[in-house]
């Protein structure tokens, strides 16, 4: 369905990418103009120094001149830089104006930074058709910890990429759940801080299909280096097919909430969810990294009353890194992971919770 292109990676070696949007090419040109001007200035200044260091050395018998202060020269070397700066400022101003000219968008995507993943919501006037998913690093721990060979897209690959159509104006509404993150895709020349309490706007029109990768660009805690961005730009038809599939999948998930899950089903799903959403802090063995990330093995809420355990998973704990997963995971995933935590690593409480119960709690039902 998607083009497996990595052409954008090819010219990433030593210079800024030209990118795949009108804006990103303007930015690249601007970067090259300033860069070349700086190189020329450097050559002139360092050239003069080199000449002086070769010719005017005592070992060659140079006798020091006595000149100092020359008003004309000093005016000259004040005015010339000002002229150069104006020459730089003009194209920079016009590019910036183009970037800030948002206009009417075709697609609105809410981008929400959450320690340490991105949640994308394709806004739709009809809430039933709203697609929401979390996109997190898919590189296996074994590659990070050097137990397996690193693949080509090491650390810049995700489980579920953002998908957008080409030639459409896509608006990103960028915000954060916890700390400040920054959503950056170099190929679009889009970098915007995701700040809790703010919704910032950015936009792009991609003209080439492909896979474009970026990373979080603002220090956001422990796994700042492990929250990549992957955007698949596809043809409009492919986008519509993808969107329809996602909407259908959302509907199916909704239906699974009603059914009665077996303990084994919950444990199996729970293990997957735990690895994706919990293991970064609480570790695969459940022992955490105390005192910042508490152990779940044989202690704390995971072996306490199930109501309190459910509450912290759904609503998080203010002032800590423990997030509110109620909005990130679907009820089936939530029920599964709670069940898993209560029965893994020798916790063996034997109890479980059903997705339907989670749904009741989320929709305001009493605990």
Partner 1 sequence: MITEHPHDSHGPDKGLMRWVVTTNHKDIGTLYLWFSFLMFLTGGVMALIIRSELFQPGLQLVQPESFNQMTTMHGLIMVFGAVMPAFVGLANWLIPMMVGAPDMAMPRMNNFSFWILPFAFGLLLSSLFMEGGAPNFGWTFYAPLSTDFGPPSTTFFIFGVHMMGISSIMGSINIIVTILNLRAPGMTLMKMPLFVWTWLITAYLLIAVMPVLAGVVTMMLMDIHFNTAFFSAGGGGDPVLFQHIFWFFGHPEVYIMILPAFGVVSAIIPTFARKRLFGYESMVYATSSIAFLSFIVWAHHMFTVGIPIAGELYFMYATMLIAVPTGVKVFNWVATMWQGSMTFETPMLFAIAFVVLFTIGGLSGLMLSIVPADFQYHDTYFVVAHFHYVLVPGSVFSVMAAVYYWLPKWTGNMYDEALGKTHFWLSFIGINITFFPQHFSGLAGMPRRIPDYALQFADFNMISSCGAFLFGFSQLLFLFIIIKTIRGGEKATEQVWEGAHGLEWTLPSPAPYHTFATPPSDLNDAHG
Which parts of 306-335 interact with partner 1 (CB under 8 A)?
Answer: 318-321
d(CA 160, CA 250): 14
Q: Is residue 285 within the footprint of partner 1 (CB under 8 A)? A: no
Shortest separation between residue 148's beta carbon and partner 1, angstroms: 10
d(CA 6, CA 4): 7
Pick 192 or 297: Cβ nearer partner 1: 192
Q: Which of 3, 107, 156, 243 binds partner 1 (CB under 8 A)?
A: 156
Q: Is residue 36 within the footprint of partner 1 (CB under 8 A)? A: no
Stretch that binds partner 1, among 127-135, 137-145, 267-275, 338-346 (CB under 8 A): 137-145
Nearest of 162, 160, 112 to residue 138 by alpha carbon: 160
Strands of 117-122's sheet in order across: 131-135, 117-122, 107-114, 170-176, 200-204
Which parts of 215-234 interact with partner 1 (CB under 8 A)?
Answer: 215-226
Q: Is residue 9 within the footprint of partner 1 (CB under 8 A)? A: yes
State the DSSP H helix or E strand holding residue 191, giving kind and residue range, or none if neither.
strand 190-194
Evaluate the omega torsion of the peptide bond into residue 295 and state whether it is cis, within 30 degrees of 0: no
Pick 266 or 280: Cβ nearer partner 1: 280
Nearest of 338, 340, 331 to residue 365 by alpha carbon: 331
Which parts of 38-97 interact with partner 1 (CB under 8 A)?
Answer: 38, 41-42, 45-46, 48-49, 52-53, 56-59, 62-70, 73-74, 77-78, 81-82, 85, 88-89, 92-93, 95-97
Q: Is residue 247 within the footprint of partner 1 (CB under 8 A)? A: no
Whether residue 203 contacts residue 105, with contact meaning beta carbons closer than 8 Å, is answered with: yes
Length of the chain as a residue count: 367
Pick 4 or 68: Cβ nearer partner 1: 68
Which parts of 182-211 interact with partner 1 (CB under 8 A)?
Answer: 182, 184, 186, 189-193, 195-198, 200
Q: Is residue 30 within the footprint of partner 1 (CB under 8 A)? A: yes
**Centroid of chain to Cα 277:** 16
């Amino acid at each position: 369905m998607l083009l497996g292109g990595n052409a954008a990676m090819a010219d990433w070696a030593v210079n800024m990418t030209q990118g795949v949007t009108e804006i990103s090419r303007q930015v690249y040109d601007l970067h090259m103009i300033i860069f070349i001007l700086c190189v020329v200035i450097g050559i002139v200044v360092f050239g003069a120094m080199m000449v002086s260091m070769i010719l005017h050395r005592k070992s060659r018998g140079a006798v020091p001149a006595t000149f100092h202060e020359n008003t004309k020269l000093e005016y000259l070397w004040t005015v010339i830089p000002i002229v150069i700066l104006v020459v730089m400022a003009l194209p920079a101003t016009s590019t910036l104006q183009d970037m800030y000219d948002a206009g009417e968008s075709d697609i609105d995507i809410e981008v929400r930074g959450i320690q340490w993943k991105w949640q994308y919501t394709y806004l739709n006037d009809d809430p039933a058709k709203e697609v929401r998913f979390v996109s997190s690093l898919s590189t296996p721990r074994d590659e990070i910890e050097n137990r397996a060979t690193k693949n080509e897209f090491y650390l810049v690959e995700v489980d579920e990429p953002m998908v957008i159509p080409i030639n459409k104006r896509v608006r990103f509404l960028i915000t954060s759940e916890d700390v400040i993150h920054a959503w950056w895709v170099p190929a679009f020349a889009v970098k915007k801080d995701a700040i809790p309490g703010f919704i910032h706007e950015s936009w792009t029109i991609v003209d080439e299909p492909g896979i474009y990768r970026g990373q979080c660009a603002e220090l956001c805690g422990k796994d700042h280096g492990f929250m990549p961005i992957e955007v698949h730009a596809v043809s409009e038809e492919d986008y519509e097919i993808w969107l329809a599939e996602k909407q259908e999948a959302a509907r199916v998930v909704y239906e699974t909430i009603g059914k009665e899950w077996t303990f084994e089903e919950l444990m199996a799903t729970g293990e997957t969810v735990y690895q994706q959403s919990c293991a970064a802090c609480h570790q695969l063995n459940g022992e955490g990294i105390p005192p910042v990330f508490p152990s779940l093995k044989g202690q704390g809420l995971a072996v306490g009353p199930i109501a309190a355990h459910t509450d912290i998973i759904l609503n998080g704990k203010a002032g800590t890194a423990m997030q509110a997963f109620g909005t990130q995971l679907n009820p089936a995933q939530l029920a599964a992971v709670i069940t898993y935590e209560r029965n893994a690593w020798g916790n063996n409480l034997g109890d479980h919770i059903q997705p339907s119960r989670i749904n009741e709690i989320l929709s305001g039902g009493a605990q």
